[in-house]
Amino acid sequence: MKTAYFNYGFSLDMEEDDALSCSQPGVDATPFVEEVLQKPYIADQLAKIDPDAIKSELKECGGWELYELGDPVRNQERIVWIAAGEIKEGAWQ
């Protein structure tokens, strides 16, 4: 299990295989992220994270406009995708 740490006081643990599936280069990661979101160990972690903290983290990333960050479910998808990429790159352990 690897951990991605975020600036807004939360972290996300993820199996390395799940991180690799969600961060394949040149591939639309959406179906893989949606599959990982259904795993209890991910869903349980996300349920404990304040949606506003996720939104603030994503806003800081600069990849989305504020109006795009109004959907907490999409934000969970985005943060899982970011966590997967960071874990894959080995930036956060």
- For the chain, the domains span 2-89
Q: How many Å apart are CA 24 and CA 67, to the nearest integer?
A: 27
pTM confidence score: 0.90
The two most distant CA atoms of the chain are separated, in Å, by 33
pLDDT given for residue 92 in this prediction:
45
Q: Residue 68: what residue type? A: E
pLDDT given for residue 36 in this prediction:
96
Handedness of CA 16, 57, 32, 86 (dihedral sign): negative
Q: How many Å apart are CA 80 and CA 34, to the nearest integer?
A: 9
pLDDT digits (tens, 9 = 90+) for 29-82: 999 999 999 999 999 999 999 999 999 999 998 888 889 999 999 999 999 999
pLDDT digits (tens, 9 = 90+) for 7-33: 999 999 999 999 999 988 888 999 999
